[in-house]
Chains A and B, each alone.
Chain A
Amino acid sequence: MKKVKYKDAIREAMMEEMAKDPDIILVGEDIAKGYEGCFGVTKGLCQVFGEERIIDMPICEASVIGCALGAAQLGIKVIAEVMFEDFITVCFDGIVNQAAKLKTLSGGQYNASVVIRAPGGSAGYGAQHSQCLESIFMHVPGLYIAIPSNAYDAKGLMKTAINFGGPVLFFEHQKLYNTEAEIPDDEYTIPFGKGNVLNTGKDVTVVAFSYMALLALDACKSLESSYGVSIEVIDPRTLVPLDFEMISASVKKTGRLVTVEEGVLRGGVGSELVARIGEECFDYLDAPTKRIASLNFQIPISPLMEKAVIPNKDSIISEIAAYLNLK
């Protein structure tokens, strides 16, 4: 075992797979020599694999995804980096109309074997560099979404994503890049659709992912020690496919569900989760479900406003406490 940062774990996964398979390439803006990735995820890769495999693109996000798709149709596995999750809107057609539909429209003749990496979440850069847009892509059949909350999961999920054979959106988080986790020296992968129980409990189920999984876990530990409640915290790790079995089994045990996410409340991931729980586990619920998310507003750049809009440890604690009527 060794301690590895989230951003280094992603790089390790890419390097190990690239060393095995010459038909894996990277495309993105400022990922090769020079900048080596806006957040340093692709640092050193160009020296190892060369400019033929680590392809620096001009500023044209639509062509970043187009490049990935065209190459994928010729049998290459492509990992595309979109510098910020917000920029993904520039390549919406490539993802929503092309990648998501290629397999079905071609009757299975072609498949978009692409991984689209994009860091989301707020690190203080304002409305166009902070969004968590995963729920938009959850709405589109044919897309798969991995959203790791720690370095261990990031490496294992990236390896699965590269060899998955379909279009995978791999949502990273700016605030997680420098977080560390223990990672085994031996090869491992994490399958899609398998959630992770971060904390076992019996009074309420909390589902949280990406950076919010860290905050939610921290908040729940505080609640447990302050109030003596027992909280089950689940990180689904992939949103599509979703480990609904794990979530519903937990809700059937606890009778309560809280979702925590950094994307905005309206039409969010939590909306889908509570709807399904309502449809499929209604008889097991002891209370209405609860969604904690960013407020329906642009992510502000000013710190007090940002704090008011995005969930933080204190707000999660007070919202769950109120939900459970803890005094």
Chain B
Amino acid sequence: MNIENNLLLEFFAKLFLCRRFEEKVYQLILDGVVLGSVHLSLGEEAAAVGTIGALEKSDYILPTHRGHCQHLAKGADPNRLMAELACKESGYCRGNSGSIHIFDKENNNLGSNGIIGAQFPIAVGVGRAIKYKKMKDCVACFTGDGATNQGWFYELLNLASLWSLPVIIICVNNLYGMGTPYCNTSLVSVNEKPRLFKIRSEVVDGNDVEAIYLIMKELVYLAKTEGKPALLECLTYRWMGHSAFDQRPYRPKEEIAKWKSMDPVKRAENKLRQRGVNSKVIDEIKDKVNNQVEEAADFAIKSKFPEFDTSMQM
């Protein structure tokens, strides 16, 4: 099953924005503009764009610490996002957050978390509140593979199952938790873990935005109409290190090359071309995104740093 070309174009535009945005972030880290602890998700863009593409604006997300693409996919303004990464007052959180704990209330983005797995107990409350308020929404709770070893993960599985919460856990499995391969951390694969709790669990090619979207669409429908929680494991790869300055000595070069050949952004572009979309249309998108990212960097650089006032003490 294929999706409409228009929708695939929309996804491509988002994927390309994520790619260029993060490439720019990396450059701005080296330039000393983007500050603090920054986790890039180059290579993992499709997992964010495909899953969030199946959500409505009113649906909620709980992104991870590696969340730039998740914020952008949910609708974050690149200017304010970049400004936040630069810890500037014009950023989403007035420069209080930096990269790892960004919130965007306008887009029902409930905030990424610097504590790995801390989003799981929060997802319980979001799911419960959606049900209590009789809203039609769901919450997509993002995680890496490593965080599924936290005890909180099992509390969420248990409660989402017990209470039929409209919670969809998106596992962006990029094979490594920091420098440790997943296989060294658990004998149970991520998608097996929810099954004990009678939660539906799916695995998908995490570099195929179309496949991700299609399965996510179904999971969202079931979460909203039948209160069925689910887990979707997107198999993908982190091109960069855990954080910006990680030289990744723990990974074979061939492994990186293999995954780069499955570039999710290129794959979407190739699909568009195969389906007869005019190169001009694709190039226009690229130009627009390139300008948008330059503008975001410029906005971040020119914005002011917040200042501390002693009256802010709590």
Residues of A within 8 A of B (CB): 25, 52-53, 55, 57-58, 60, 62-63, 65-76, 78, 93-94, 97-98, 101-102, 104-110, 141-142, 240
Whether, in the assembled complex, B127 has its beta carbon less than 8 Å from a beta carbon of chain A, the answer is yes
Whether, in the assembled complex, B256 has its beta carbon less than 8 Å from a beta carbon of chain A, the answer is no
Contact yes or no, B133 A74, CB < 8 A? yes
What B residues does A141 contact at CB under 8 A? 313-314
Residue on A with the closest CB to B104? A109
Q: Can you list 19 A-B pairs, Cβ within 8 angstroms, ordered by A?
A: A25-B132, A52-B132, A62-B151, A63-B152, A66-B118, A66-B120, A66-B152, A67-B125, A67-B128, A70-B128, A94-B121, A97-B118, A98-B118, A105-B93, A106-B105, A107-B93, A107-B97, A109-B103, A109-B104
A66, B158: Cα distance in complex, Å: 14
Contact yes or no, A60 B155, CB < 8 A? yes
Interface centre among A55, A70, A71 (most CB of B within 10 A): A70
Known contacts A68-B125, A71-B125, then 8 further A-B pairs from the complex at CB < 8 Å, ordered by chain A residue: A66-B121, A66-B155, A69-B121, A69-B125, A70-B122, A73-B129, A105-B93, A110-B110
Residue on B with the closest CB to A94? B121
A101, B152: Cα distance in complex, Å: 19
Interface centre among A69, A104, A107 (most CB of B within 10 A): A107
Whether, in the assembled complex, B126 has its beta carbon less than 8 Å from a beta carbon of chain A, the answer is yes
Contact yes or no, B159 A63, CB < 8 A? yes
Closest 4 CB pairs of A and B: A66-B121, A70-B125, A107-B93, A107-B94
Across the interface, B121 reaches (CB within 8 A) one of A65, A107, A108, namely A65
Whether, in the assembled complex, B178 has its beta carbon less than 8 Å from a beta carbon of chain A, the answer is no
Contact yes or no, A62 B103, CB < 8 A? no
Residues of B within 8 A of A (CB): 60, 91-97, 101, 103-105, 110-111, 113-115, 118, 120-130, 132-133, 151-152, 155-156, 158-159, 162, 313-314
A181, B92: Cα distance in complex, Å: 48
Contact yes or no, B314 A142, CB < 8 A? yes
Contact yes or no, A63 B155, CB < 8 A? yes
Give the Cβ gap from B106 to chain A, nearest Cβ, in Å: 8
Contact yes or no, B124 A106, CB < 8 A? no
Across the interface, B110 reaches (CB within 8 A) one of A52, A73, A93, A108, namely A73
Give the Cβ gap from B164 to chain A, nearest Cβ, in Å: 13
Contact yes or no, B155 A71, CB < 8 A? no
A58, B126: Cα distance in complex, Å: 17
What A residues does B95 contact at CB under 8 A? 107
Residue on A with the closest CB to B113? A98
Query: Beyond A52-B132, A107-B94, A107-B97, is A66–B103 a contact (Cβ under 8 Å)?
Result: no
A157, B124: Cα distance in complex, Å: 28
A73, B102: Cα distance in complex, Å: 14
Give the Cβ gap from A80 to chain B, nearest Cβ, in Å: 10
Across the interface, B130 reaches (CB within 8 A) one of A66, A74, A104, namely A74
A71, B111: Cα distance in complex, Å: 14
What B residues does A76 contact at CB under 8 A? 129, 132-133
A65, B152: Cα distance in complex, Å: 12
What B residues does A68 contact at CB under 8 A? 125
